[in-house]
A and B are shown apart, each in its own frame.
Chain A
Amino acid sequence: MRFKAIILNTFIESLRDKILIVLLVVGFILMASSKFIKPLALGEEIKIIKDLSLSSINFISVLIAILIGGRLIYKEIEKRTIYLVLSKPIKRWEFILGKYLGQMLLLFLVIGILTIAFGIVLLLTGVPANFLILLPNLLLLFQLSIITSLAIFFSTFTTPLTASIFTFILYFIGHLTRDLKALAQISKSPIVKVIANFLYYTLPNLANFDIKGKVVHEIPISFFLIYLPIIYGILWTLGLLYFSFLIFEKKDF
C-alpha cells in the first residue's frame, strides 16, 4: 500500500488549505443562522432548521469537492511535485487512486464535523431528531464520490479552473436530469428529444442522492432509495477513475 503516502499527503494538503477553513466557517454560520430564522418560521421551524442545516452540509461539502478536487492532479503537474511522486515505485493508477481516497477522507471528515455542528444546532434549538436524519449525509458521501471523480477526471487534462467549472456544470445538470427526461417526453422536436434523452442517459443523475426533503418531512424512505444510489455512485466512481487512469497513463512529464 505505497499509495497510502499519496492518501496521507492529499489529506494533509487539503487540511492545510485555507479554502477549507473558510468554507467550514461559512458552513457553521449558515447552520447557526437557523436559530435566528426560527421566529420567522411560522410553525415550520423544525423543518426549516433541519432543511437549512442539511442543505448547508450539502452546499459546503460539494464546494470543497469541486474547488479542492479540481486542483488535485493539475496542481501536482503545474508545480512539478509530480516528479517527486512518479519517480518513486508508485504506479500511475496508484497515484490517481491515492488522490481520490485522500480527498474522500477529507470529505468524510468535513461531513463528520458539519454533522456534529448540526447536532449542536438541534440541541440548542430543541428540535427533536432520530438517526434517520443522518441518511442524507450518507448518500451525500456517495454523491461527493462522483463529484470528486469527475473533478479528478477533468483535472487530468485541463486547468483547475476549467476542471472546477466543468464539474460544477455537470453537478448542476446532474440535479436536473429528471427534468431532461420530462423535456424529452413532452417536446415535439425530435432534435430536442434526442439531446435530452442523450444527456439523461449519459450524465450522472445526482438527484438520486437527494433525500433531504423526504427526511425533513418524515416521509417513509424505501430501502431501494438508499442502496441503489450507493451502487450507482460506486459504479460511476469506478468508471470515472478508470478513464482518469487511461488519460494519466499516457501523459509525459
Chain B
Amino acid sequence: MAIIFCENLTKIYRSGFWKLKKVVAVNRLSLTINEGEIYGLLGPNGAGKTTTLKMVVGLAKPTSGKILIMGKEPKDSEIRKNIGFLPEQPYFYEYLKGYELVYLTAQMYGKEVSSKRIYEVLELVGMIEAKDMFLKNYSRGMLQRIGLACCLITEPKILILDEPMGGLDPIGRKEIRDLIIQLKKAGKTIIFSSHILSDAEMLCDRIGILIKGEKVKEGTISEIVGEEIYEYEIIFSNVGEVYLPEIKRLAKDLIRSGDKWMATCEEEGKREHLLSLIQNFGGRLHSLIPRRKSLEEYFFTFMKEKRDAL
C-alpha cells in the first residue's frame, strides 16, 4: 500500500531581482513509496533530492503536481504527526541542551512524553551521555544523532531523512545504518536521500535516481545494477612460491596481503580451475566471493553515459 504518493511533481524556483529567471529544481516527478519499505533517493548535488523531501514535509510548495501522504496533502498539518524529518546538515537551537531539544520536539508534535521515553530515545541514538550539553558544543555527528532522536521521539510511521549519514565517520555511519534497519523491522517507512551509494545499497529496498530534477531510474538494487556476477575473488594461503606463476597465469590479478593471497578471475571455468590448483598445491582456501557490480560502479558508468550523451 502506498504511504507516500507523488504525481507529476514540479518545483520551479524564480531567482534574480525581478524573479524572471526560472530554475527547475524538480520536474514531473512521480514516486510511490510503499508502507514499510526503505526508499533511497539518489543523485548528484542539485538533482532535486532535498527539494523533493521538503515538498513532502510541507516546507516548500510544489509549483504543480500532487503529493499524498497516507491519502492527505502535506498542507494538512495534522498529517505531519506521522512524519519524522531529519534535514540535511541539521541546525538546531544552539542555546538548548540535547534533552531540552528532544522534549521541545515532542511538544511540537503536541505530545507530552515522559522523561523515561526521552532517555530511551537518547540511549537508542547513543546520546545519553551528552544530554546535558548545549547543542552549540555538539559535533556534526552528534547533531545528526540528536536529530534522529527528535525524529523518533513520537514514534512516527514515516521517517524522512535527508543525507542521514552525511558528516559521519565510518563507525557512526554503521551505527546509523544499523538503527535504520532496526526501524524498518519495527515497521517504519523510511525515505532517505544520500550520495553515499554503498549505504544506500546496503539499506534500500528500492531506489530512485534523480538527475537535474528528473527521475531517470527506479527499482530494486538488483533490478538496476543487475544480478550478474562479473568477478570472483579467491583468498588463499599456504601455496608454495613455485606454484604461484601457474595461478597468476589463470588469474586476472594476484595480490599478496600478509601471508595470504587474493586472486581474481572473471569466468566460472577459470574459477574452478584455480580452486582445484590451490587444493592440489596443498593450499588453504579462506574465502570465495562472487562480486556483482556495485551501485557505485553502476552510478559512475551511468553518469558518464549521461554526460557523454549531452
Assess whether B58 is interfacial by the CB under 8 Å rule.
Answer: yes
Closest-CB distance, A162 to chain B (whole angstroms): 16
A135 on interface, CB distance cutoff 8 Å = no
List of B residues within 8 angstroms of A86 by Cβ = 57-59
B96 at the interface (CB under 8 A from A): yes
Contact bitstring A3-14, B, C-beta under 8 A = 1, else 0: 011101100110
Q: What's the minimum C-beta distance from A245 to chain B, rounded to whole angstroms? A: 14
CB–CB A84/B59 < 8 A:
no
Q: Give B63-117 interface residues, CB cut-off 8 Å to A.
A: 77-81, 83, 85, 87, 89-93, 95-96, 100, 104-105, 107-110
Q: Are B60 and A12 in contact (CB under 8 A)?
A: no
User: Contacts A91-B77, A252-B61: A81 and B108 contacting too (C-beta < 8 A)?
Assistant: no
Interface presence of A190 (CB below 8 A): no
- 39-68 of chain B: CB within 8 A of chain A: 54, 57-61
> With A12-B96, A13-B93, A253-B54 in contact, is A87–B107 under 8 Å at CB?
no
B108 close to A80 (CB less than 8 A): no
B295 within 8 A of partner (CB): no
Are A89 and B109 in contact, CB atoms less than 8 angstroms apart? Answer: yes
B263 at the interface (CB under 8 A from A): no
* Complex Cα spacing A13 to B134, Å: 12
Contacts A16-B95, A252-B59 known; A88 to B87 CB distance under 8 Å? Answer: no
Given A12-B95, A253-B54: A5 touches B107 (CB 8 Å cut-off)? yes
The answer to the question of A90 belonging to the interface, with a C-beta cut-off of 8 Å to chain B, is yes
Within 8 A of A (CB), among B163-191: none
Residue-by-residue, is A220-235 near B (CB-CB < 8 Å gives 1, otherwise 0)?
0000000000000000
A79 within 8 Å of B (CB atoms): yes
Q: Are B91's CB and A2's CB within 8 A?
A: no
Which residues of chain B have C-beta atoms less than 8 A from A12's C-beta?
A: 95-96, 100
Q: How far is it, in angstroms, between the C-alpha of A93 and the C-alpha of B78 when the chains are bound?
A: 14
Residue of A nearest to B62 (CB): A252
Interchain CB contact under 8 A, B87 and A89: no
B54 touches A84 (CB 8 A): no
- Residues of B within 8 Å of A6, CB to CB, are 108
The answer to whether the Cβ of B150 comes within 8 Å of any Cβ in the partner chain is yes
Q: Given the complex, which residues of A lie within 8 Å of B92, measured CB to CB?
A: 81, 84
A35 to chain B, nearest CB (A): 35
Contact string against B for A residues 69-83, beta-carbon threshold 8 Å, 1 for contact and 0 otherwise: 000000000011111
Which residues B219-259 have CB closer than 8 A to chain A?
Answer: none
Contact B108 A5 (CB under 8 A): yes
Interchain CB contact under 8 A, A89 and B104: no
With the chains together, A1 CA to B150 CA distance in Å?
19
Interface contact A89-B59, CB-CB below 8 Å: no
Give the distance in Å from the alpha carbon of A91 to the alpha carbon of B91 in the complex. 20
**A87 touching B95 in the complex, CB below 8 Å, given contacts A5-B108, A8-B107:** no
A residues with a Cβ closer than 8 A to B are 1-2, 4-6, 8-9, 12-13, 16-17, 79-91, 252-253
Q: Which residues of B contact A (CB under 8 A)?
A: 13, 54, 57-61, 77-81, 83, 85, 87, 89-93, 95-96, 100, 104-105, 107-110, 150
Given A81-B91, A87-B85, 11 more contacts at CB 8 Å? A2-B108, A5-B107, A6-B108, A9-B104, A12-B96, A80-B87, A81-B92, A86-B59, A88-B109, A89-B77, A89-B79
Q: What are 17 of the A-B contact pairs (CB < 8 Å)?
A: A8-B104, A8-B107, A12-B95, A16-B95, A80-B90, A83-B54, A84-B90, A84-B91, A84-B93, A84-B105, A87-B59, A87-B87, A88-B80, A89-B81, A90-B77, A252-B54, A252-B59
